[in-house]
């Protein structure tokens, strides 16, 4: 044995025939904390073969039985929440409390998915031909929802459990098989999560988990003829997957440059609290983190003061200690963030709460004022604890900046005027606009979608169920 965590195929935990492993690095210590198997292309082929066979039987399994199984998985995830969360703390440096709530939220998602699936998937359509010109009532169309086949699920490092479950739950409930490719950072949490499905009695072959480097098996997975749907959450890789993928439905959630527009009439204390939480939770490593504040000049001074006070209250430290700001996922990520900050510094941004400070992958939270459109931070996504503030002359200027971004995931607006809020939301070309609260995906049954380079399709439990089925019609021709 090479001592690495095993991958999952045909209901068994196995070592890869490659004999190779991939190291998972603890972002806090920058030491290897786990090893996982580097699966081969041949092993991936076997996963698709088994999944295809298992899916045929699963599609015939009554919906209530599929629901029962998902409820069982949810119960097991709650029961084992702590050890799964401990992996998240080590692999992705997520604060202990947030790691635990990620697992519990995932169990809740599975329960909801089972219930929603029973209702939604069980309903189809009955159409009579006589509503179309020239037809009589001698043709009846029965349209039902049938599974797509094998869904390839690729979650990112920031929610290795929740963003796996948000794909697996709807896919399985809808009668599909799943091949899961966890992120390397977060792979072990993903394997433990998968074990809950196994222990609940999921049919052999219906779920496979392939670990390994994206560079080695990524294209092979996404371009495999056995794929019938790809659900991907992550960065720009999603754009190249979309270009290369065959004729299969895609669900993509990529980056975001979520803006917070603060109007002159806003409750500034509320806005500042919401923005600090939105920008710095999980150290800004969320697609839905606030990544740019666009504030009307009249209240900029007051808002920046309130934001600075909020940032000063953030505790910097280790995820085990449940600090607010923990090390970012990798040194390359820390380097990238540092590059964005240096660029803003050279171009004249103001450092409101002290200079840039970094120890290893740990970055102290930064509030940058007087950010301008010629700075990279006005457009790029740091995915770290950095909050840039741009002062604007008008709300129209803020909306124009938001719409000029290549991203369009979420955004938020702070104002006391509900009419203005709706008008601004309508004008913002983003998938979701939150009024008087920071961007967030949850609750997990809400629709979640990105415009432009932020994604394809809509998620949220109902929308994911809808996306993972196709319509099948049987037309009854009467005499």
Residue ranges that bind ligand G3P, judged by CB under 6 A: 158-159, 286-288, 440-442
Q: Which two tokens stand for residue 210?
A: 């392939």
Q: Which is nearer to ligand G3P, 191 or 290 (CB)?
A: 290
Q: Which is nearer to ligand G3P, 222 or 288 (CB)?
A: 288
| DSSP letter for each residue of 48-78 | HHHHHHHHHHHHTS-HHHHHHHHHHHHHHHH
Closest CB to ligand G3P belongs to which residue? Answer: 287
Q: Which residues pair with 312 in a beta bridge?
A: none
CA-CA distance, 147 to 171, in Å (whole number)?
Answer: 8
The nearest distance, CB 77 to ligand G3P, in angstroms, is 17
Q: Which is nearer to ligand G3P, 205 or 255 (CB)?
A: 255
Among 43, 91, 102, 253, the one annotated catalytic: 253
Contact (Cβ atoms closer than 8 angstroms) between residue 180 and residue 9: no
Q: Which helix (H) or strand (E) holds 6?
A: none
Residue 397: CB atoms within 10 A of its CB come to 16
Among 287, 381, 402, 412, the one annotated catalytic: 287
Cβ contacts of residue 56 below 8 Å, gap of 6+?
none
Q: Which is nearer to ligand G3P, 286 or 291 (CB)?
A: 286
The nearest distance, CB 375 to ligand G3P, in angstroms, is 23
Q: Which is nearer to ligand G3P, 158 or 176 (CB)?
A: 158
Q: Is 287 a catalytic residue?
A: yes
Shortest CA distance to 109 belongs to which of 85, 74, 63?
Answer: 74
E-assigned strand segments in 329-403: 350-351, 358-359, 362-363, 366-369, 386-392
Contact (Cβ atoms closer than 8 angstroms) between residue 383 and residue 283: no
Q: What is the DSSP letter of 178?
A: E
Helix (H, G, I), strand (E, B) or coil at 360: coil
Q: Which is nearer to ligand G3P, 149 or 439 (CB)?
A: 439
Q: Which two tokens stand for residue 286?
A: 């969320």
**Rg of the chain in Å (alpha carbons):** 24
Q: Alpha carbon 185 to chain centroid distance?
A: 15
The nearest distance, CB 279 to ligand G3P, in angstroms, is 12
Q: Is 141 a catalytic residue?
A: no
The nearest distance, CB 68 to ligand G3P, in angstroms, is 27
Q: Which residues pair with 146 in a beta bridge?
A: 470
Angle of CA points 238, 70, 168, to nearest 5°? 10
The nearest distance, CB 9 to ligand G3P, in angstroms, is 28
Q: Which is nearer to ligand G3P, 159 or 414 (CB)?
A: 159
The nearest distance, CB 440 to ligand G3P, in angstroms, is 4
The nearest distance, CB 12 to ligand G3P, in angstroms, is 31
10: left (phi over 0), alpha (psi -120 to 50) or beta: left
Give the catalytic positions in this structure.
Answer: 253, 287
């Amino acid at each position: 044995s090479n001592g690495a965590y095993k991958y999952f195929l045909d209901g068994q935990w196995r070592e890869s025939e490659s004999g190779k492993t991939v190291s998972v690095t603890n972002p806090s210590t920058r030491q290897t904390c786990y090893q996982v198997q580097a699966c081969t292309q041949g092993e991936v082929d076997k996963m698709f073969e088994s999944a295809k066979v298992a899916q045929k039987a699963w599609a015939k399994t009554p919906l209530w039985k599929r629901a029962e199984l998902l409820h069982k998985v949810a119960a097991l995830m709650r029961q084992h929440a702590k050890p799964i969360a401990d992996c998240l703390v080590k692999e992705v440096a997520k604060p202990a409390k947030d790691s635990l709530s990620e697992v519990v939220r995932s169990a809740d998602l599975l329960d909801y998915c089972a219930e929603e699936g029973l209702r939604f998937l069980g309903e189809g359509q009955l159409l009579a031909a006589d509503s179309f010109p020239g037809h009589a009532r001698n043709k009846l169309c029965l349209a039902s929802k049938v599974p797509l086949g094998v869904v390839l699920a690729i979650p990112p490092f920031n929610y290795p459990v929740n963003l796996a479950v948000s794909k697996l739950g709807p896919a399985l409930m809808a009668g599909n098989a799943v091949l899961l490719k966890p992120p390397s950072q977060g792979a072990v949490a993903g394997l433990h999560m998968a074990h809950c499905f196994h222990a609940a009695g999921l049919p052999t072959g219906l779920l496979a988990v392939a670990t390994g480097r994206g560079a080695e098996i990524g294209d092979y997975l996404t371009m495999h003829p056995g794929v019938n749907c790809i659900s991907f959450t992550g960065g720009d890789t999603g754009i190249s997957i979309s270009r290369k993928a065959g004729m299969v439905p895609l669900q993509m959630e990529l980056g975001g440059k979520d803006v917070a527009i603060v109007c002159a009439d806003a409750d500034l204390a509320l806005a500042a609290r919401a923005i600090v939480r939105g920008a710095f939770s999980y150290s800004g490593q969320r697609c839905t983190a606030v990544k740019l504040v666009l504030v009307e000049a009249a209240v900029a001074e007051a808002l920046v003061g309130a934001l600075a006070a909020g940032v000063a209250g953030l505790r910097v430290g280790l995820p085990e200690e449940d600090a607010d700001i923990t090390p970012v996922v990798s040194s390359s990520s820390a380097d990238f963030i540092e590059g964005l900050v240096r660029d803003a510094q050279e171009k004249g941004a103001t450092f409101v709460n002290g200079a840039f400070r970094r120890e290893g992958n740990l970055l102290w939270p930064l509030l940058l004022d007087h950010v301008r459109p010629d700075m990279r931070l006005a457009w790029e996504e740091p995915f770290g604890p950095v909050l840039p503030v741009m002062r604007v002359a008008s709300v129209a200027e803020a909306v124009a900046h938001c719409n000029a971004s290549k991203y369009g995931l979420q955004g938020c607006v702070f104002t006391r005027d509900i009419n203005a809020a709706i008008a601004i939301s309508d004008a913002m070309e983003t998938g979701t606009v939150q009024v008087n609260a920071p961007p967030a995906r949850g609750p997990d049954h809400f629709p979640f979608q990105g415009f432009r380079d932020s994604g394809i399709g809509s998620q949220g439990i109902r929308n994911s169920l809808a996306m993972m089925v196709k319509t099948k019609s049987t037309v009854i021709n009467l005499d």
